[in-house]
Every structure is written in C-alpha cells, then in structure tokens.
Chain A
Amino acid sequence: MTRLAERRGELIDRTTPVTFGWRGEQVTGLAGDTIASALFDAGVRVFSRSFKYHRPRGLLCCAGQCPNCLVQVDGEPAVRACMTPAEPGMQVDPINAWPSLETDVLHAVGRATPSFGMQVGFYYKTFIRPRWAWKYYEKFLRSAAGLGKLDPAHRRTERFEKVHRHVDVLVIGGGESGLEAAIAAARDGRETALVDEGLALGGRLAFCGIAAAGRAADLVAQAEEAGVEILSPAWAGGVYEGKLVPVYQGNTMYRFRAGEIVVATGVVEQPLVFGRNDLPGVMLGSAARRLVNQFRIVPGERAVVVTADDLGIDAACDLAEAGMEVAAVADLRERDEDERLAMCGIEHLTGFAPVEARGRSEVTGLVVARGSERQTIQADTVVMSGGTVAQWGLLVQAGGSVRYDRSRRVYVPDRVPDGVRVAGEAVGTERAVPAQAEAAGGKQFVCYCEDVTTKDVHLSVSEGFASLELSKRYTTVTMGPCQGRMCHRNSGLLMARELGVDPDEERVGVTTARPPHNPTSFSLLAARGYEPEKRTAIHHWHAESGAKMLWAGDWKRPYDYGGAEDETAAVHESLGLIDVSTLGKMIVRGPEAAAFLERIYPNRYGDMKLARVRYGIVCGDDGSILDDGTVARLSETEYYVTTTSSGAGGMEQWFTWWNAVWGMDCQIVNVTSAIAAVNLAGPNARTALGKLTDFDLSNEAFPYLGAGHATIAGVPCLILRIGFVGELGYEIHYPTGAGEHLWGELMGAGEEYGVKPFGLEPQRVLRLEKMHVIIGQDTNAESQPLEAAMPWIVKLDKENDWIGRYSIEWYQRRGDRFALVGFEGQNGSVPKEGAQIIGAGGMPVGRVTSSRFSRRLGKSIGIAWLPAASSEEGTPITISDPSGATIPASVRRSAFYDPEGALLRS
C-alpha cells in the first residue's frame, strides 16, 4: 500500500525497505516501522486469536498496552508487535491460533455450540467431572491456552547485564510533563535521568500532528542540552523499597536508585464497552492517530468514531485530513456540535452511545443509539475513545495511594510519599467521562487479555464474588498482559452498576498495583550476576595438564588428571602433589590471640608450643559443627588458621563477629587469596622436598604436627606437617604470586620418584581410608562433635567459656543418640552416598555419607550415621542401595588404613 506524504513526526525512513518473515511469507515494510505497522500496511488485519474464545483480534492500542498484537518472534513468545521495530530477516508468527489465523478450530467450536460458551468458571465447573478424565482434559487445555510456545531447544546467545545506577532525579515517562520536569531538574543542577517506553519521545505529542511533533522535538532538544540522560525506549519495571526502580532497556537491566522519583506516566485511552467491541477494525483513537501520524498509514476507507471525550474528535479530524471518509462521530456527551467536525464536514451525533459492531471476522459497521433512536453506520474502521485513565500504578508501588474523584469519575493521586512527585496527566485529567448506557448484542468485552465479557462480570456477582478483588480472582479481569490498563476502569464501573453502588465503594475500589509494571523478559531478570568463578594461582597449569575441572563451592578445582586410581596409588607408593590453595586462611594476631582462639574452639590452643599445628573444629553455640581446619602457632601472639575451602568466608565472618562481641585485643585478617597452598604427600615427600630447601626436614627436627618457616626454591614458605591423606606429607603455604613457580619446582624435584599431581577424587579416597571426616558431607547442621566421633577434640575441662560449650555439656548429659562410624562392605559392592541403613523390619535407621572402593585395601569402605546403641566395632549392618541391591557391611571404629598413624609420624 502507499503511505501518506512525508511529514514531520513520522518514524519511517522511506529509503530503507525492511523485509521479514510473517507466517513463512516475506513482508516488506520500511525502516522505522514496527512489526505491527509493517504488517498492517501489507494488509494484515487479524494479528492474533484471543486467549479463551480464540476470536480474531486486530490492532487495538498500537502502544504496547493491549494483548491483541502479541506474536512470536524468532522463537521468543509474547512479543508486542506494535512496540518492536521490524528488523530484516526476523521470523514473525502468530500465537494461539490453530491451524491458522483465518480458520481456528477452537473458535469454530465455540460458534457452532453456544453451550460451549466458556463463561467464567467454565473450566472449574466442566472439567471436574469425571475426575479420572482430568489427565486427558489437561493435555488438551494446556495446548489450547497460553501466549505462545517456548522452544525447549532454543538457546539464547545474547548476554544480559545488570547495571547499578544512582541519580538525583528519575523521571518515569517522557511525555510533555515528564520532559518539562526533567529539564527543570537538570537545570537545577541535579543529575537527572528520564525513562520512556514509547517509540518516540513526547508521549501524546509524538502522534498528534505537525505542531505537536515540533513541540516534542523542541523539548527533547532542551532536555539533551540541560544534560538529562534519556533512556528510550526503556521500561520502568516497578518501584521498590528505598526508591529502587529497575529499568529495562534492550538487554540491560538498570537498577536505578533515585533521590527523587517523578511519576509522569500519563494516561491510557480506554476502550468502550459494546457488542463485538473486539472485532478487527475496532481500534482506539490514539491507535488510529499513531498509524496516521507516525507511520503515515490510513487505517481504512471509511471510519466511524465513537467517543466519550474530545480525543475522539481529534482522531476524527486526523483521519479526515489523511483522506479517510469519516461517516460520523457518535458522541456520548450531550453537547453542541463541534466546530472542527463541522469544518471537516463530519456528522456529529451527540448523545449517541455505541450498541454493537457489525461484522464477522472484520468490522463492517456500528450501531449507535440515543434512547430508542437507532442508527447503523457502515464503516470498515470503528474508532473508539472511552476517555482516559491516569497511570498511577508506580505511584502506588512507591507507597502512595489514590482516591475516587466523584465529579471527574476517575481515580486521582491521594497520598504521595516523600521523595516522589506526580506530574502531568497522571495526576488525573479534567475531562469527565459520561456514564455509558447498557449496550446490547454480541459479546461485550470488558477485558481483552482474558476474554472477560459483561456477562462474566454479571455471573461472578450473582455467584457471590461481589467485590472487584474477589471478582478479579474468579474472572481474571485485570490479570492479563495489560495488567488492568485497558480493563480496570470499565470492570470497576460495571461492577458498581451490577452491585448498585458508587464506583468508590470499598468493595469496588481498586485492585492492588504490583510489579512488574510492564511485561518483562525472564532473561533480564536472570541477567548476569556478580559471582565469578574463583581460580587458584595454579589453575592454568591444571587446565593445561588435562585436569577435569569441577565446581567446588565458588572454586574451580581439578577432579583428577585423567587417572584417579593411579593418582591415589602414587600418593601411597611414592609421591603426589595437590593444589589446596582453596583452603580458607586467616591470621589471628595480638596480645589476646590465644585467649580469643580458646573461646572460639572447643580444643585448646593457649597451651600450644611455638612452631606446632593442631587440628580443630569450630562449633556454633548450639554445639553443631560449623567448620574444621588447623591452627598453627607462629609466635606467642600470632596464629595461622586454616578452614575448609567453602567455609573461608563464613569463618572470617564468624571470627570477626565474636570479636565484635567480645572486643578482644587481637586482629583477624583473611589471607585466603594472598596465600597459595599445596600438599606434597607420599613416602618420598621428605627426600623430594629436601632437594629444594636447607630447612631440616628430619623427623627429629621437624616431627609430625610441626609448623616451620622455610625457604623452598627461593620462596618464603610456611610448612605444616599434617596428614589429611594418610601418608607422610607437607602442606606448604606460600605467596600466591609464586603459585605456579613453586608448583613447577616441586613437580621437577619429584620427577625421579614418578610424582603425580592428584585431584579431589583421589584425595577423597585417601582421606576416607583414614576415616577423616569432611564437614558438610559427613556432617550436617545437626551434627555435634560428641556424636561425630570427635569427643577427643572437645575440652569440657577448659576453664574458660567457649562457643558451643553449654550445648555440648547438655548433649553430654543427655548421652549420644547417633554415632558417625566407618563401615566395610562385605561383598565388595559400593553403596551410593546417601543410601539408607536398614534395621529390624526394614525400617531405615541410618545413612551412608561417604563411600568408595579402596584399591589399596581391596575393599569397599565408607562412613555412616548409625544409632549409637548399635555402633560397636564389628556390628553387622544392612545397607539398602538406591539401585535396589542390599549390601551387607560391618562397623569399623578406627581408620581403615594405618590406624595407629605410624606412616604419618615416620
């Protein structure tokens, strides 16, 4: 079709055609077109099928408010065609229509069988019987409902971001008032941002002719000159506590914190309620004006306008000027004939209300009436303007309230909270909207999103849903994509009429405004957070050496280097090296450092000799085990503390919290990322390490549980002689900067012994052979040390108070109920971690927390919780594996491998 002559305010670029796919066919529009305007220009009138009745629907608002033009674009469902620019190559498809937009089976069924009328409550009432049939009904109903299809195989390739922003003033709405407010604020020296959802700034100015477009351009230029940051098109998603406003623009979610918020969201033009008011060809006055003024498209050949205020008259003039025949303007108001209409030669039928639209799949005319006088006007376009409703949703979300203004018959802002202002027509227009007489004929839609008719509202009232909030939950009016923008006013008025009350009665009232204020894509809500993976200083060596990396808390760690069993064997037989840089590391230093640790740990640390290291657990005040690690005494006033990898952050908080309570004279410094750590373990550890240091590593000079400062390969190190993996071992802590250097030197020194790097999996097997507990795997939030086989570490005879002491004293008085023990599988099969241990009568009495097959020992081993009463050494137990197998096992109360610890001390 041909467009109207070029004019100021149009959005299209006539020199650049844009071709995209619509239902598999090529459609060509112009750059600047929306999907909707390009399709309309190409002759498309039916854009979708309605939610419930599958009725054909065409363009209604052209402003992103109504559900009529929701389409599927490149696999993304529920895209608003009237707000989305047409782009070359995009594939657009209709939703909710089967087999096609023209012939929809569900619509045909609804027409042929009036009893299938699917009034409100239809689903609840119909598909409840017979009950067994629901599973069949459900399949059908699910495929019939919804706003598009998600492609489970679809993968998004774009990135979505979150950005934090702070401004003095955030103006929401870029119409005349919003722009003026932003200009004033910016000229006042305040940092100001303005958000507008429209395709063009200026609000109504953007689509109301040349003069208005000029005024809009002038205001935008002034705003830019004043330094207003303009985000457009962008959507304010809501107003949250602390004046937080999420703003969505493209693939970015801005989290705006504003000193002051200006709600300049303006008004939304309302539909009128009459028979078949949803036929394609029935559109709002603002929609018709957008087509004419922004896209230079004439909506049809002959129009009839029905209006409740002057906006309809403005629309009629625009259409006439665009060369369209305007048959008449039916005006709900009793008033003198409008001069502008007279000049254009348009008949002005005052005091006339719409009764019903004519037509089957597209509109062919409109019946209007004044009392008993009826007129049928032939037209292919019905333009309706039912007055406007202020958009106060964001104001209410910000903590404000609205009240009903009887004289104006609209809701207006009442209480406006501190730091929030309302500007422009959002305050409530002066234009009064006359009451609409009861219409007739055909379905009269109150809500386009959910196909709610006047009959449904009537029915819901007669069934006892006699308030708007209740009726909303039954009929789902205001709950669709428009979120009440197109239906709240009309449903409220209708409700009031049904109930015979004023619209401001409490039971009519308003529904609650909640975020999101606009349709929001899940991709934006799930935008990238700020939780990067943590890597150790030796990460690249692992990656280049074929390590299988896995998540361990926030860290990426090697699972193994391709041969877990060989790596395990290397540690037992010769030498292995593992990166344990992820361990939490803290320095506790100060005159009261020793006293502080005595209060934090159940174990003793005040009596420790210098250059020694001791194992310890940390308990909560309820006696539960929070974490474990080692504590080395470096001097009278300085301790080096390690924690589990995942517990590093939590333990720093825990330590500093208690010191905030006690105010002791010591400092706690988290050095986790400053210090790298590796564990060199195996029978050849001493000789290999000796090649790189002058430090005396002999068993006499540096025995088990020693801690010493040494220079290894030129790097200042702290060596802890501990044995998590059960062989002679040196845990070496050193500056992160030397991470790969020292690792490489140690691998070189171990080469002649066949040293192997080992990952987490071999370490899990090695520690299990020693029955060393992993906090969080073998224990949970209820585990306390007496039951978790660690009473030796709890010094109830310490003279001082310590965290968890009173609870553990209470547990000791109560006696143990459960016990954490080892077990050996009797037939070699390994139960799954989490498998249940069953007792008499097949009832579960315990569970497996760790299990592996130990090649070294040639048997299946594990750790499990059992009732304390049946946890003696050698007790036979029965494990019920999730695989269905039953595995006999027997209890072991000491380490499977080297129970005396002779190897560790050698």
Chain B
Amino acid sequence: MSFLLECPNCGRRPVDEFSYGGEVTVRPRSSEDERALFGYLYFKENVAGAQREWWFHSSGCREWFQAERDTRSNEVLQTAPPGGLA
C-alpha cells in the first residue's frame, strides 16, 4: 500500500502518514437487538468497490476525516471533514 490520500487540512500525503479508522458505521442505540449489536461490532461490510471510511492524520494535523475509496484500486474518490462526504 503506497497510495496518496488528500487530508482536508494538509493536502495530498503518502498513506503511511495516516491511521486507518475502519468503515463509517452507525452505532445501534440499545443492546436489545443482539443481531444488530453483534453485526455492528464484528461484521464489516468489506465491500469490493467504493467504501466510506475514517482516517486519522497521525503524522500530520492529528485530525480525523472521512474518505471514499475504491477498495479494489485504492483510488481515493473524495475526502472531507467528518460528515462532509458528498
């Protein structure tokens, strides 16, 4: 992995400056639905295609942002501050 990622604050940087934060998910709001809870905790979508995910610029501004990336080609389709993806 050596693709470039556009930090909304710092610009294009090599991916090894960043920490991956996983897929953008939605937390369940209770423990009643076990299936929903365990799905959220342990089952990732792991799509082959465009995926929305969290990134932390650990060797830069140390801010979180979101990216949309094609998991097949590592092409980064867009990046934005949290919640700002088109």
List residues of A whose CB falls within 8 A of some B CB.
240-242, 244, 257, 621-622, 649, 652-653, 656-657, 660-661, 663, 670, 801, 805-807, 809-810, 813
Q: Are A657 and B30 in contact (CB under 8 A)?
A: no
Number of A-B residue pairs with CB-CB distance less than 8 Å in the complex they form: 55
Q: Are B41 and A807 in contact (CB under 8 A)?
A: yes
Q: Which residues does chain B contribute within 8 Å of A240, judged by CB atoms?
A: 2
Q: Which residues does chain B contribute within 8 Å of A661, judged by CB atoms?
A: 82
Q: A242-B2, A660-B82 given as contacts; is B14 within 8 A of A807 (CB)?
A: no
Q: Are A242 and B3 in contact (CB under 8 A)?
A: yes
Q: Which residues does chain B contribute within 8 Å of A621, judged by CB atoms?
A: 27, 40-41
A-B contact pairs, 25 of them (CB 8 A): A240-B2, A241-B2, A241-B74, A242-B2, A242-B3, A244-B14, A257-B4, A257-B14, A621-B27, A653-B19, A653-B56, A656-B56, A657-B21, A657-B54, A657-B56, A660-B64, A660-B65, A661-B82, A670-B62, A805-B31, A806-B37, A807-B31, A807-B41, A810-B31, A810-B34
Q: How far is the CB of A427 from chain B (nearest CB, A)?
A: 26
Q: Are A241 and B82 in contact (CB under 8 A)?
A: no
Whether B86 is near chain A, meaning CB under 8 Å from some CB there, is no
Cα-based distance from A801 to B31 in the complex (angstroms): 11
Q: Are A663 and B82 in contact (CB under 8 A)?
A: yes
Cα-based distance from A242 to B5 in the complex (angstroms): 10
Contact residues, B31-50 vs A (CB, 8 A)? 31, 34, 37, 40-42
Whether B63 is near chain A, meaning CB under 8 Å from some CB there, is yes
- A621-B27, A622-B42, A660-B64 known; 20 other A-B pairs, CB under 8 Å? A242-B2, A242-B14, A244-B14, A621-B40, A622-B41, A653-B58, A656-B63, A657-B56, A657-B64, A660-B54, A660-B65, A660-B82, A806-B28, A806-B31, A806-B37, A807-B31, A807-B41, A810-B31, A810-B37, A813-B31
Q: Are B62 and A652 in contact (CB under 8 A)?
A: yes
Q: How far is the CB of A269 from chain B (nearest CB, A)?
A: 33
Q: Are A807 and B82 in contact (CB under 8 A)?
A: no
Q: Which residues does chain B contribute within 8 Å of A657, judged by CB atoms?
A: 21, 54, 56, 64
Whether B11 is near chain A, meaning CB under 8 Å from some CB there, is no
Q: Which residues does chain A contribute within 8 Å of B30, judged by CB atoms?
A: 806
Pick from B37, B58, B64, B83: contact of A807, CB below 8 A.
Answer: B37
Q: Which residues does chain B contribute within 8 Å of A670, judged by CB atoms?
A: 62
- Among residues of A, the one whose C-beta sits closest to the C-beta of B31 is A806
Q: How far is the CB of A587 from chain B (nearest CB, A)?
A: 15
Q: A663-B82, A806-B31, A810-B34 given as contacts; is B62 within 8 A of A242 (CB)?
A: no
Whether B10 is near chain A, meaning CB under 8 Å from some CB there, is no
How many B residues face the partner with a CB closer than 8 A?
Answer: 28
Whether B29 is near chain A, meaning CB under 8 Å from some CB there, is yes
Q: How far is the CB of A363 from chain B (nearest CB, A)?
A: 47
List residues of B whose CB falls within 8 A of some A CB.
1-4, 14-15, 19, 21, 27-31, 34, 37, 40-42, 54, 56, 58, 62-65, 74, 82-83
- Among residues of B, the one whose C-beta sits closest to the C-beta of A657 is B64
Cα-based distance from A241 to B15 in the complex (angstroms): 10
Q: Which residues does chain A contribute within 8 Å of B1, judged by CB atoms?
A: 241
Q: How far is the CB of B30 from chain A (nearest CB, A)?
A: 6
Q: Are A656 and B4 in contact (CB under 8 A)?
A: no
Q: Which residues does chain B contribute within 8 Å of A813, judged by CB atoms?
A: 31
Cα-based distance from A622 to B43 in the complex (angstroms): 12
Q: Are B62 and A663 in contact (CB under 8 A)?
A: no
Q: Which residues does chain B contribute within 8 Å of A810, judged by CB atoms?
A: 31, 34, 37
- Which of A244, A622, A806 neighbours the largest number of chain B CB atoms within 10 Å of its CB? A806
- Among residues of A, the one whose C-beta sits closest to the C-beta of B65 is A660
- Which of A622, A653, A660 neighbours the largest number of chain B CB atoms within 10 Å of its CB? A660
Cα-based distance from A653 to B54 in the complex (angstroms): 12
Q: A242-B3, A242-B4, A257-B14 given as contacts; is B62 within 8 A of A809 (CB)?
A: no
Q: How far is the CB of B58 from chain A (nearest CB, A)?
A: 7
- Among residues of A, the one whose C-beta sits closest to the C-beta of B28 is A806
Q: How far is the CB of A184 from chain B (nearest CB, A)?
A: 26
Cα-based distance from A649 to B62 in the complex (angstroms): 10
Q: Which residues does chain A contribute within 8 Å of B58, judged by CB atoms?
A: 649, 653
- Among residues of B, the one whose C-beta sits closest to the C-beta of A803 is B27
- Among residues of A, the one whose C-beta sits closest to the C-beta of B33 is A806
Cα-based distance from A653 to B31 in the complex (angstroms): 26
Q: Are A656 and B82 in contact (CB under 8 A)?
A: no
Q: Which residues does chain B contribute within 8 Å of A663, judged by CB atoms?
A: 82-83
Cα-based distance from A801 to B27 in the complex (angstroms): 11
Q: Are A241 and B3 in contact (CB under 8 A)?
A: yes
Q: How far is the CB of A806 from chain B (nearest CB, A)?
A: 4
Q: Which residues does chain A contribute within 8 Å of B21, judged by CB atoms?
A: 657
- Which of A242, A652, A656, A663 neighbours the largest number of chain B CB atoms within 10 Å of its CB? A242
Q: Which residues does chain A contribute within 8 Å of B74, judged by CB atoms?
A: 241
- Among residues of B, the one whose C-beta sits closest to the C-beta of A257 is B14
Pick from A241, A656, A806: contact of B62, CB below 8 A.
Answer: A656
Q: How far is the CB of A243 from chain B (nearest CB, A)?
A: 9
Cα-based distance from A660 to B24 in the complex (angstroms): 12
Q: Return the 3 tightest CB-CB contacts between A and B, nearest first.
A: A806-B31, A660-B64, A660-B82
Q: How far is the CB of A745 from chain B (nearest CB, A)?
A: 34
Q: How far is the CB of A246 from chain B (nearest CB, A)?
A: 10
Q: Which residues does chain A contribute within 8 Å of B28, judged by CB atoms?
A: 806
- Among residues of B, the one whose C-beta sits closest to the C-beta of A656 is B64
Q: Which residues does chain A contribute within 8 Å of B62, judged by CB atoms?
A: 652, 656, 670
Q: How far is the CB of B29 from chain A (nearest CB, A)?
A: 7
Q: Which residues does chain A contribute within 8 Å of B34, judged by CB atoms?
A: 810
- Among residues of B, the one whose C-beta sits closest to the C-beta of A812 is B31
Cα-based distance from A806 to B74 in the complex (angstroms): 34
Pick from B15, B29, B56: contact of A801, CB below 8 A.
Answer: B29
Q: Which residues does chain A contribute within 8 Å of B65, judged by CB atoms?
A: 660
Cα-based distance from A621 to B27 in the complex (angstroms): 9
Cα-based distance from A241 to B29 in the complex (angstroms): 40
Cα-based distance from A807 to B41 in the complex (angstroms): 9
Q: How far is the CB of A723 from chain B (nearest CB, A)?
A: 33
- Among residues of A, the one whose C-beta sits closest to the C-beta of B63 is A656
Cα-based distance from A621 to B42 in the complex (angstroms): 11
Cα-based distance from A244 to B63 in the complex (angstroms): 25
Q: Which residues does chain A contribute within 8 Å of B40, judged by CB atoms?
A: 621
Q: How far is the CB of B7 from chain A (nearest CB, A)?
A: 13
- Among residues of A, the one whose C-beta sits closest to the C-beta of B74 is A241
Q: Which residues does chain B contribute within 8 Å of A807, judged by CB atoms?
A: 31, 37, 41
- Among residues of B, the one whose C-beta sits closest to the C-beta of A668 is B62
Cα-based distance from A507 to B56 in the complex (angstroms): 46
Q: Which residues does chain B contribute within 8 Å of A242, judged by CB atoms?
A: 2-4, 14-15
Cα-based distance from A242 to B76 in the complex (angstroms): 11
- Among residues of B, the one whose C-beta sits closest to the C-beta of A246 is B2
- Among residues of A, the one whose C-beta sits closest to the C-beta of B59 is A530
- Among residues of A, the one whose C-beta sits closest to the C-beta of B64 is A660
Cα-based distance from A652 to B19 in the complex (angstroms): 13
- Among residues of B, the one whose C-beta sits closest to the C-beta of A658 is B64
Q: Which residues does chain A contribute within 8 Å of B3, judged by CB atoms?
A: 241-242
Q: How far is the CB of B35 from chain A (nearest CB, A)?
A: 12
Cα-based distance from A809 to B54 in the complex (angstroms): 27
Cα-based distance from A512 to B34 in the complex (angstroms): 47
Q: How far is the CB of B80 from chain A (nearest CB, A)?
A: 12
Q: How far is the CB of B22 from chain A (nearest CB, A)?
A: 10
Q: Which residues does chain B contribute within 8 Å of A652, judged by CB atoms?
A: 62
Q: Which residues does chain B contribute within 8 Å of A653, judged by CB atoms?
A: 19, 56, 58
Q: How far is the CB of A704 from chain B (nearest CB, A)?
A: 35
Q: Which residues does chain B contribute within 8 Å of A801, judged by CB atoms?
A: 29
Q: Which residues does chain A contribute within 8 Å of B54, judged by CB atoms?
A: 657, 660
Cα-based distance from A810 to B33 in the complex (angstroms): 10
Q: Which residues does chain B contribute within 8 Å of A806, judged by CB atoms?
A: 28, 30-31, 37
Q: Which residues does chain A contribute within 8 Å of B19, judged by CB atoms?
A: 653
- Among residues of B, the one whose C-beta sits closest to the C-beta of A809 is B31
Q: Which residues does chain B contribute within 8 Å of A656, judged by CB atoms?
A: 56, 62-64
Cα-based distance from A809 to B29 in the complex (angstroms): 12
Cα-based distance from A805 to B40 in the complex (angstroms): 14
Q: Which residues does chain A contribute within 8 Å of B82, judged by CB atoms?
A: 660-661, 663
Cα-based distance from A652 to B64 in the complex (angstroms): 11
